[in-house]
Structure 1
């Protein structure tokens, strides 16, 4: 008789095998083989040389402002001094001995590929100059879709839910592999992706299209494929947000969400993608700042919960790799304890890396004190450090920590990669409704188009605005398209202007963004429909908008407003490509939320 853990591991291996296009678990990329004893001995000697301050520092992954490691802009120096007490990345490493640095666009770390590569090299040079030289694990959130810290000219791919709509594990794997190759060329060694959450709550404010979908097994296949893609390119992947952030209507950035799944529901809904990631050899797992009473009734968020991190993730699921927290600056982890206790409690729970604390001095001092006082045992901290150093060893940081402009030129944003992104995007656009065969639009009957609607701010460097991108692409496809941005909350004046503009055109394409019952976007669509002109609605984020737009005859979902997905949607609207995407989540009726309007797998063809 198989044990519960054996059954879980076998199921996870099968999911990972399916993601790799095989029917057997034998083809699953297994976790890295045990390192040679000589490697273990070398890394243990490195740890033995560290002071408590150096050991504590290696546990932190920290933000830092600036485009360069040693000579940032004066405004970035001022921001660093105010928030961290250092001038730049080099001083951050020298002062706190941090083991990782996370890149953000708003911190001015990701202007362009050459600058990112130079920043990465500068960070590694500063790390090599330490008393105990340890390379830094440089990381970022490059999920693609709506979360992309690095923009063009790097290649940008459809996000997770769009990939889920394609249903192609090969496309998910290829996107991860190419993205990983480009990150590596820029010196970024860890990507906080893929998102392994199963988005079963349409009202989820923080996950949504960052998830591959609402079917746990389908999500598991896509997660395993992306793990293999990223890590085959030499970049550490990170499955997040354990134990699963997909069924909440609270954003852990601003509050403490509760997941009310029973233990059996958690096993059925939330666990499969993480099991598949572990079976595929995932390098790291990120914890969530969520409370799951069925897994730990204490009320502690998962990040601080030993029953969840050690009991479930480590022991029950058998995960032996690096565990990293979600950002410790998020409100969800700060609600119950002070900033001095949070890092210590996270380490005691079983976490290895502490991501982006709000005050590094407070957090670092607290960990050093806990280590000196014995609250954190030195053998346990050394075990965490060994896991981190083994990850760095596995990803080549000790042997080859630097990159070059030549590597950037050979890999980042090259034509073949951009063509792959466009091809993958063509499999994602989903046609939800097409009453009377309105789509594809005819250049003869509807050649003069108004492209109107929401223009949410695009991730840095990912293009936009959506109405402009759609209008430009449709014009290139033979239409005469004019863009009019009305935003996500259009005023009465803008709505009236849009209606007047449509009166002298043949049809409208309206981009919608998370429409609600009281949304002015809904009024905009109603006013456009009142003109009697054909109206095509494109949901540029969550695909649920159509449930509130009864009069619309033609409705599509692109799952994001980044250029690669919008260009693909335009080609579908123009009839240059068939819509082949299928809903990876159900769309429920607005007047009866328990009733399915369009099920998982729904998608029309021409």
Structure 2
């Protein structure tokens, strides 16, 4: 298994659990050209901060390693915190206080790493033998007997026979070609680095196999640990979309020891390419696999081309059907897993109680907290059944905001009673159902945390958003609500964080607040360095990092990321599940059962299309109108319909009206999303509705987005909501208009006319 290069940025204050290595910043040596066989190990140990050079960029690899140097390397690796405290006073008579490794030898003596001679001496400057090296390493790392066997002819009766047996049985040493080991031969600095690197890599792999995460963390550098807590995106490199593992990706994964990445549309060409990309990313990651995530909510937020085109969460809300919600989660998980993705940033658990919400809307299941709770839990269960982690969002709730946190900082001022009854309820249900990951919202909740700080944007006093609030993430989410899983932030590129707090300050504050994973830092290198230095200087407790990394490793193990053994060919063969007929059947059923009549002349049905009708299809988007026209023509069969497209709005309403004068039936497609409903341009639709009512024409106002039309348009006599403009949704609407399907959906949001 490939071992990653690790970065140790300086000597770091902390406990044994958190820190491995304590030498100064990793060196690069100019004198390794004659020891290529040892270069990887020397670099590996230098990156860990365990071994150091002799000055002038030299390592002196062929010099003998002394007993003092050997124990110094071990102390740097295993007990760096004691070096920081100044502890260590050896009792040996030949180690004066002026010895350059006085403290290290003292710590080694205290910890039982090295034993002196009967006369009370240590012989610090004597060259180490191969026998002493075996004894030091087996003692320091408490090695136990392994299952391998090496027959060494010259060690059976040696004083170090037992250490040799322990090392060889674990595959850590071998002999010369003549079957000897030459135990009393001295060891060079290069050889000692190789022996030490072998043991550490062996111990790490042993910890992974045993899922002993505390042990593994004790062998991880601070750089590795905080790397596990970063999940950036990389949509472009050198101005080009990142669709393969290029040099930029390689450097990010290896140099920052990343714990995960999120993919976006720019990373995706087709399903086969995504499989290749995720496969290659995991190869670069090596022994610590990556969380690879994506936003695949369904409906308006989806990234995978060619996959099942689910109608979206609000369509599921209109069905009210937990079985369909679970099926949607399961098929989404199956398709993501086939692509090599293990984290889905879904479902949205925000209760969309505010029609003026500019960013959630139909991404939510609806405005009823109980329904959102039921359908959200079912979706989580479906994803989990498929082996995909559900990262629910946006805690503590983004449903009743009028500011998009991508653009600004929303503030929700509800009292605690209201928050418990609405915003927090779906998250409580998810926690009780064992959800593994919760995404924070960049939203301020002054009822819970009233702290304000000075904005870097304009110097004003701004409230702390949930992502940076210890009272919300630790006090409320962990301690009060009992959540034990991973807390991941929303994207740090969003203005709710980026404008006001500055990334370095925000990253540090988020981790101290309780965030385990920083999603999409603006500058991953700077975020990594910030966290390393914050640990080094004691601004972030080492125990905080340890707990986060342990949660991350545990979840990766739970979902089998350490067990991935499928070949690329096997992964390609799994692509047949994507967009399968079985999945398409679920897609169609959700769309068909979601269609909702929310205005009707007879109280039950929209106006219907009749044989030989001249049908005008009006929309603000010509392509959307063409999609509806094509679907209507295909579904109408021999009804002899005549269809025509009209573009409305944007100065075209008069032209649309002229076409409608000749029509028998009019489909008006309305799409309101990603804007404030009360500020949407409803006047054109109102004009068309008034004209059609006056002419007593048959029509339908077809809501393809947030279903709030009747709050702002008066006297609508025929209207359907389908909660999305993608093909399954609009196809179901056409079937209803042709009398081929009964609309049975129930409006999942509360609406009340705002007209006077």
| TM-score interval, smaller chain | 0.7 to 0.9
Distance in 1 (CA, whole Å) between partners of 2:427 and 2:548 is 21
Aligned pairs for 1:147-226 (under 5 A) are: 147-151=301-305, 153-226=306-379
1:116 to 260, 271, 274: 274
Partner of 1:144: 298
Q: Is the 8 A contact 2:646 2:659 kept in 1?
A: no
Give 3-state SS (helix, strand or coil) of 1:417's partner.
helix
Q: Which residue in the other structure is 2:285 paired with? A: 127
Question: Which whole-Å CA distance do the structure 2 matches of 1:575 and 1:96 have between them?
Answer: 59
Once residues 565 and 444 of structure 2 are traced to their aligned partners in structure 1, the CA distance between those partners, rounded to angstroms, is 38
Shift of 1:483: 5.4
Corresponding position of 1:76: 241
1:95 matches 2:249: no
Offset of 1:415 from its aligned partner? 1.2
Tell me if structure 2 keeps the 8 A contact 1:256–1:335. no
Q: CA separation of 1:65/1:336 partners in 2, compared to 1, >3 Å: closer, same or farther?
A: closer
- Cα displacement (A) at 1:256: 0.6
Superposed CA offset, 1:278-330 (max 9, x none): 11111100000001011111121000000100011111111100100000111
Partners of 2:642 and 2:711 lie apart in 1 by 27
Match of 1:63 among 233, 237, 258: 233
Residue correspondence of structure 1 range 366-515 to structure 2 within 5 A:
366-400=530-564, 404-436=570-602, 439=606, 441-444=608-611, 447-455=613-621, 465-478=623-636, 480=641, 482=643, 484=645, 486=647, 490-492=649-651, 494-514=652-672
Q: Which runs of 4+ in 1 moved over 6 A?
A: 37-40
What SS is found at the alignment partner of 2:448? coil
Q: CA deviation at 1:399?
A: 0.1
Alignment of 1:227-376 (within 5 A): 227-298=380-451, 299-376=463-540
In 2, are the aligned partners of 1:471 and 1:481 still within 8 Å (CA)?
A: no
Q: Report the 3-state secondary structure (helix = DSSP H, G, I; strand = E; otherwise coil) of the residue aligned with 1:341.
A: helix
Paired residues of 2:230 and 2:259 also in contact (CA < 8 A):
yes
CA, structure 1 residues 520+95, in 2 after alignment: closer, same or farther (shift >3 Å)?
farther
C-alpha spacing 1:549/1:389, structure 2 compared with 1 (3 Å): same
- Give the 3-state SS of the residue equivalent to 1:234 in structure 2: coil
**Matched position secondary structure for 2:617:** strand
Determine the C-alpha separation between the residues in 2 that align with 1:574 and 1:73: 52
Q: Is 1:567 aligned to 2:731, yes or no?
A: yes
Shift of 1:216: 0.8
Work out the CA distance in 2 between the residues paired with 1:485 and 1:308: 51
2:267 match: secondary structure: coil
CA distance in 2 between counterparts of 1:118 and 1:340 reads: 34
User: Partners of 2:501 and 2:693 in 1: how far apart?
Assistant: 52
Higher relative contact order (CA 8 A, sep 6+): 1
SS at match of 2:288: coil
Q: Give the alignment's Cα RMSD to 1 decimal.
A: 2.4
* Structure 2 Cα separation of the partners of residues 343 and 522 of structure 1: 48
| Alpha-carbon distance in 1 for matches of 2:694, 2:647 | 17
What secondary structure sits across from 2:389 in the alignment?
coil
Verify the 8 A CA contact 1:198 1:216 in the aligned structure 2. Answer: yes
- Please report the TM-score for the alignment, with normalisation by the length of structure 2: 0.67
CA drift of 1:121 comes to 0.5
Q: Distance in 2 between matches of 1:231 and 1:412?
A: 17
1:62 touches 1:355 (CA, 8 Å); kept in 2? yes
* 1:46 alignment partner, one of 216, 221, 227: 216
The CA distance in 1 between the partners of 2:325 and 2:646, in whole Å, is 32
Cα distance in 1 for residues equivalent to 2:267 and 2:219: 31
Distance 1:558 1:380, change over 3 A: same
CA deviation vs aligned residue, 1:37-73 (integer Å, no higher than 9, x gap): 986753333322222222121111111126xxxxx89
**By how many angstroms is 1:250 displaced?**
0.8
The Cα of 1:519 is off from its aligned counterpart by 4.3
Q: State the 1:74 CA deviation.
A: 6.3
CA distance in 2, matches of 1:524, 1:90: 56
CA distance in structure 1 between the aligned counterparts of 2:642 and 2:229, rounded to whole angstroms: 53
Is the contact made by 2:244 and 2:277 (CA closer than 8 Å) also made in structure 1? no
SS at match of 2:702: strand
Specify whether residues 511 and 401 from structure 1 end up closer, same or farther in structure 2 by C-alpha distance, changes over 3 A only.
Answer: farther
Query: Could you list the per-position Cα deviations for residues 193-246 of structure 1 after superposition, in whole angstroms to 9, with x for gaps in the alignment?
Result: 000111111101111111111111111001110000001100000111000111
CA contact (8 A) 1:57 1:364 kept: yes
Q: TM-score, normalised by structure 1?
A: 0.83
Determine the C-alpha separation between the residues in 2 that align with 1:373 and 1:41.
30
For 1:302 and 1:140, locate their aligned partners in 2 and report how far apart those are by CA, in whole Å: 22
- The aligned counterpart of 2:13 is none
Offset, 1:175: 0.5
Question: Separation in 2 of the partners of 1:453 and 1:503?
Answer: 16
Distance 2:693 2:642 in 1: 18
- Quote the offset at 1:99 in angstroms: 0.7
User: 5+ residue gaps in structure 2?
Assistant: 1-206, 452-462
Determine the structure 2 residue equivalent to 1:12: none
Measured in 2, the distance between the counterparts of 1:40 and 1:499 equals: 72
SS at match of 1:535: strand
Deviates more, 1:532-541 or 1:182-191: 532-541
Match of 2:420, SS state, is helix
Q: Secondary structure of 1:157's partner?
A: coil
What number of residue pairs does the alignment pair up?
Answer: 528
